[in-house]
Structure 1
Amino acid sequence: MSLAPRKAALAILMDIDQSGQTLDRLMDRFHRANELDRRDESFVTAIVYGVLRWRRRLDWITSKVSTTSLDRMDPLVVNILRMGLYQIVFMDRVPNSAAVNTSVDLAKVLKKKWLTGFVNGVLRQALRRLPEIAPPSSEADPVQALAMTQSMPEWLVERWVRQFGQQEAAALCETCNRIPSLTLRTHTLKIDRQTLMRQLQPLAKAIRPSIYTPEGIILDGLKGDLFSSDAFEQGGFQVQDEAAQAVGHLLAPQPGQDVLDACAGLGGKTAHIAALMNNSGRITAMDRVDRKLQQLMQEMRRLGIDIVTPQTTDLESDDMPKNTQAFDRILLDAPCSGLGVIRRNPDAKWSRTPDDIQHCARRQKQLLFHLAPRLKPGGVLVYAVCSTEPEETNAIITLFLSEFPKFVMDDRPPDLPPSLSPLMDPQGWLQTSPHRHATDGFFAVRLRRQETL
């Protein structure tokens, strides 16, 4: 294998550290622009995601074998060491000699001879001393030990230990570091699940129906390009986790209704809503980023959906027109910390802070309070976030219900597929967790506006 895929992986890791862009956006740009073959592309993905998942543990190893502290190293050197160590510790198919030599070659771009010697020395020292490098003592500091062993931020581990207890928090951390399966949602306006599974069978080592949602398909070990398949070109599916699919069913839109997808993004849930409505009715897809809505409409065309109208709107603006009682259904898939999806977006582990959770909670409250008057009496509003943090979930709903007495929690909707019952919390909301359900971590609640108070 040439040095090109490692150079590409290093460039992405540096962009994440320096540009503030998300891993999703950077990987999307890489897949569109690179000229690598499929094998090299897969190697880049493995290195980037692997380094981000295990960054703290890799830095711990470096700190034990280097006399120079990480904060005194050039950021490029830090990422070269992370990449080299990740190949040594986690990639059995890469010979240790290749991991060291290619890391040294990457360091040569800095044109400082002593740095190539430094990288070589640190990695060879790590090879010799790996068996004796022990994690922190779990007896002395169980949070630090868990954070180091599972490569998580200490502040997040501390939160999860308080929320779930030590044992369950450890299971959650471990699950967040596993490579998740790829989950698709069958686009039922075009094809049924069994037919789609037969079409996709040659492209995966394993394929099976999802557990909770009636449209889901789970694939492992892709053998071909899913997005060049006839099934994709003909609008047969979208990539969507089961937890996100469950949100659409909780909303339960009906054909002919007026529906608002308030933070539509790129349209994953918009398309699911349209399919549940049998492409009959009206969907207003709102977002404050016009570029996202343009991509959304392109996706609707691929899927053969013609009931969606895009609307660029800043829902957080205090002077936003209220347009009261206009919709039968409203979905607020609110901007959030994203801590429920870090197994898919491991960069969030290192970019998020405790302050971000508080900031997101303030935005979520404002969005929910602004949207509530737009719902017709008897209508349903679903609030959803890809987070299980209390400030973004039950605390928001408790506050909302105290301020909006015309709304009640519709905790056991009759139109919910029975297969989703295991995801419903005893308190009446839908809550999923990676370690409990093998899905992303989601929270969603169905709120009904009463006809009369």
Structure 2
Amino acid sequence: MPDSARHTAFLVLRHLSSNRHTLDTVLDKTITAAKITSRRDRHFISALAHGTLRWQGRLDWILDQVSSRPVQKINPDVRHILRLGLFQILFMDRVPVSAAVNTSVDLARTRVGPKVTGFVNAVLRNAIRHQDTLSFPDPSREPIASIAAELSFPVWMIKRWVAQMGYEETAAMCRATNEIAPLTLRTNLLQNNRQELMARLQAAKENPVPTPCSSLGIRLGRTHHSIPELPGFGDGAFQVQDEAAQLVTFILDPQPGEKILDACAGLGGKTGHIAQKMKNTGKITAVDFQSEKLTRLHREMRRLGVTIVSSRTADLNKPSAVSPLGSFDRILLDAPCSGMGVLRRHPDAKWRHTARTLSKMAERQRRMLRYLSRSVEPGGILVYAVCSTEPEENKDVIDHFLHHHPNFKLTPASSLLPKAARHITDSDGFFRSFVHRHGMDGFFIARLQKSHAAES
């Protein structure tokens, strides 16, 4: 039998290549199905899957040089095994090279058959012999191909980013995206403050650091605990949330006693923050089209001590689903998007998306904004947020919306943010974060206000 952890990582990659599920979903389901209970093995499987996908472009470039056949013509299962093996050889210092090769050969024998074991062994050992002399495109002659191959991104992404920000900044963003994202917590002020939570974490021999921009955030380095084992988790002292995502609710600025709609609420990361800002008074309606997410959301609200959230399962792409929700003082649309701003957390998205993805997402985002705008009370606030840095999904969506909805205006977000975060807003009044500039996920946030006059 092949090594169980590596075999599970192989199954994750195999599953991802044949459907549209996300890496996190597939990891969770595959590890559970394999009955992997060891924390060490679960961590190793996650590291293998994330790392192989993060560096897939670079791995394939190398495999093309050390294989007797082009990588795209290799049997897909064999290709997954070669990528896993090569990733361990090049990027996992604690894995002996011999172990990386031998376990890959065993995996090939079990999953594909004995006839391919010689090929797998030869390719990986060839990579080991020549790893110091491998060549990449010349950056002076082929700068786009060079960045794409060395830093492991699709060529179409590099082309568009170079057009937007130039070669040097594109390379900087790619390098930052290839870093493993930190674990960031958001303090739940309903239960404690940041200083108290940091003290609890320090007592547990963690190394908490306050986030520079969010006044509620705490960043952890290499943690000694799983998230449920961290001090404060059981009594709702925090939620896991990147610093950029924390700033969304500051811009929404919900007030105690108001009626708030958290559209596309998901698992409740921003729902919990909204309730906290409202001091757990008023009413929040959390909507998502997946009922299982809302079940988990309610469980999360109980952990946090939040009592003002009700939920509805609805597809907000349909106007008939929006109108029954009623009207609200403030609406947050954390819209479905390409996730191009969070590729460091979801490297599988690099290889799943195409340029067409952006235009399809933008159509959906414009539609949801249009439908939800009808549910904003006169004088109310509509906040649009996406974890994408792409113009089609951010400024273009807002420009289109404002052109067709003159009863809304863009209001600057800067004054609502913690002082340390105000520099992240641009001259148009939008919040725009980038991983390489700000050390947080890439986000776009726009704050819109409806006029007090009746709609025409």
Shorter-chain TM-score range: over 0.9
TM-superposed CA distance for 1:317, in Å, is: 1.1
Amino acid paired to 1:421: R
1:451 aligns to what?
452
Mapped partners of 1:68, 1:211: distance in 2: 49
2:151 aligns to what?
150
Mapped partners of 2:414, 2:219: distance in 1: 26
Mapped partners of 2:180, 2:201: distance in 1: 21
2:75 aligns to what?
74
Write out per-residue CA displacement over residues 133-175 of structure 1, whole angstroms, 9 at most, x where no aligned residue. 1111112221111000100000001111011111101100111
SS in structure 1 at match of 2:209: strand
**Does 2:51 correspond to 1:37?**
no
TM-superposed CA distance for 1:205, in Å, is: 5.0
SS in structure 1 at match of 2:208: strand
Amino acid paired to 2:270: K
Higher mean displacement: 301-310 or 229-238: 229-238
TM-superposed CA distance for 1:221, in Å, is: 0.6
1:21 aligns to what?
21
Mapped partners of 2:367, 2:412: distance in 1: 23
Mapped partners of 2:106, 2:304: distance in 1: 46
Mapped partners of 2:411, 2:326: distance in 1: 19
Mapped partners of 2:409, 2:31: distance in 1: 45
Higher mean displacement: 410-419 or 380-389: 410-419
Mapped partners of 1:395, 1:233: distance in 2: 42
Mapped partners of 1:350, 1:238: distance in 2: 29
Q: Note closer, same or farther for the CA distance 1:86–1:324 as it changes in structure 2 (3 Å cut).
A: closer
1:195 aligns to what?
196
SS in structure 2 at match of 1:340: coil
TM-score by length of 1: 0.96
1:361 aligns to what?
362
Mapped partners of 1:393, 1:167: distance in 2: 23
2:229 aligns to what?
228
Q: Note closer, same or farther for the CA distance 1:229–1:182 as it changes in structure 2 (3 Å cut).
A: closer
Q: Note closer, same or farther for the CA distance 1:124–1:171 as it changes in structure 2 (3 Å cut).
A: same
1:212 aligns to what?
213
2:238 aligns to what?
237
2:423 aligns to what?
422
Q: How does 1:90-239 map to 2 (within 5 A)?
A: 90-110=91-111, 112-201=113-202, 206-239=207-240
1:408 aligns to what?
409
Mapped partners of 1:264, 1:194: distance in 2: 28
TM-superposed CA distance for 1:412, in Å, is: 4.5
TM-score by length of 2: 0.95
Mapped partners of 1:63, 1:24: distance in 2: 29
SS in structure 2 at match of 1:447: strand
Amino acid paired to 1:245: Q
Amino acid paired to 2:26: L
TM-superposed CA distance for 1:190, in Å, is: 1.0
Mapped partners of 1:23, 1:149: distance in 2: 23
Write out per-residue CA displacement over residues 320-375 of structure 1, whole angstroms, 9 at most, x where no aligned residue. 45369721110000010111000000000000111110000000000001111111
User: For structure 2, which runs of at least 5 residues remain unmatched after alignment?
Assistant: none
2:275 aligns to what?
274
TM-superposed CA distance for 1:112, in Å, is: 2.8
SS in structure 1 at match of 2:121: helix
Amino acid paired to 1:391: E
SS in structure 1 at match of 2:105: helix
Q: Determine if contact 1:325/1:377 at 8 Å carries over to the other structure.
A: no
Q: Note closer, same or farther for the CA distance 1:288–1:120 as it changes in structure 2 (3 Å cut).
A: same
User: For structure 1, which runs of at least 5 residues remain unmatched after alignment?
Assistant: none
**Does 2:407 correspond to 1:440?**
no
Q: Determine if contact 2:151/2:175 at 8 Å carries over to the other structure.
A: yes
Amino acid paired to 2:406: P
Mapped partners of 1:146, 1:384: distance in 2: 29
Mapped partners of 1:188, 1:28: distance in 2: 30
User: What percent identity do the matched residue pairs reach?
Assistant: 45
Q: Determine if contact 2:192/2:237 at 8 Å carries over to the other structure.
A: yes
Q: Note closer, same or farther for the CA distance 1:111–1:451 as it changes in structure 2 (3 Å cut).
A: closer
SS in structure 2 at match of 1:81: helix
TM-superposed CA distance for 1:120, in Å, is: 0.4
Aligned residue pairs, count: 452
Amino acid paired to 2:118: G
TM-superposed CA distance for 1:303, in Å, is: 1.2
1:293 aligns to what?
294
RMSD: 1.7
